[in-house]
Amino acid sequence: MTISESDIYKALEQVMDPEIPVLSVIDLGMITGVSVEEAGVRVKMIPTFSACPAVDYIKQNIRTALEKALDTKVTVEIDREATWNSDRMAAGAHEKLKNFGIAPPQMRQGEEHAEIELHTACPHCDSENTYLRSPFGSTLCRAIHYCRNCGYVFEHFKPLG
């Protein structure tokens, strides 16, 4: 059986982020390239945060999942040419985040904008009557907001670039 790039992407859709288990590494936009080589499959990826403690764990998960799905040797490497930003999330990832109870990131509007402070809609009631409590939450990618409409404190996947 020859392996195609689309086989690799399909298998990658099954590799979930350990901190946000409803999003795959594809949903998050962490994959920058795949290739089929004589020695096996090669995957290039980028971490969401430079200090992300889960990078090695994710690399291992990708390797294990792909080796199982494709029955070949798999190499996963960090792509040092590319940097991750939150606009890289795949279509559909925002909806999945919201259903998981986390407000999705706003699209970035340039470096001087504090998108995080504006119109972060509550994932529970959709109200934009919210305010930023802290730009730091339970993981590096999350901020904490308060919804004045329904009274919930909710987490927000920060816009990052």
Partner 1 sequence: MTKNDALARMLTAMADDALIQGHRNSEWTGLGPIMEEDIAFSSMAQDKIGHAWALYRMLQEDLGGQDPDAFAFLRNEKDYKCCHFVEHPNGEYDFSLMRHFLFDHAEAIRYQQLRNSSFAPLRPLAEKLKGEIKYHTLHANAWITQLCRAGEESYARMQSALNTCFPLALGIFEPDEAAEAILVAEGVYPGEKQLKEMWVDRIYNLCAAAGLNLPAEDGVTPAYGGRKGYHTEYLQPLLEEMGAVFRSDPQAIW
Identified binder of partner 1 from the candidate list 16, 90, 140, 150, rule CB under 8 A: 140
Residues of this chain, 61-80, that bind partner 1 according to CB under 8 A: 80
Nearest to 150, CA basis, from 132, 124, 131: 124
For 49, 76, 84, 98, 116, the CA distances from 31, given in Å and listed in that order, are: 14, 10, 9, 22, 25
Q: In this complex, which beta carbon is closest to partner 1, that of residue 14 or of residue 85?
A: 85
Q: Give the binding range for partner 1 (CB under 8 A) out of 15-23, 61-69, 92-100, 128-136.
A: 128-136
Phi, psi of 85 (to 5 degrees): -140, 165
Using CB under 5 A as the binding rule, whether residue 45 contacts Zn ion is answered as: no
Task: Tell me the C-alpha distance between 93 and 24, whole Å.
Answer: 9
Contact (Cβ atoms closer than 8 angstroms) between residue 137 and residue 144: yes
122 binds, among partner 1, Zn ion, none (CB under 5 to 8 A by kind): Zn ion
Q: Give the binding range for partner 1 (CB under 8 A) out of 14-22, 32-40, 43-51, 68-76.
A: 43-51
Identified binder of partner 1 from the candidate list 134, 148, 149, 151, rule CB under 8 A: 134
Q: Residue for token digits 């706003």?
A: 106
Using CB under 8 A as the binding rule, whether residue 33 contacts partner 1 is answered as: no
Q: How far is the CB of 133 from partner 1 (least distance, A)?
A: 6
For 19, 24, 48, 79, the CA distances from 161, given in Å and listed in that order, are: 19, 20, 10, 16
Enumerate binding residues for partner 1 (CB under 8 A): 49-53, 80-85, 111, 114, 116-117, 133-138, 140, 143-144, 158, 160-161
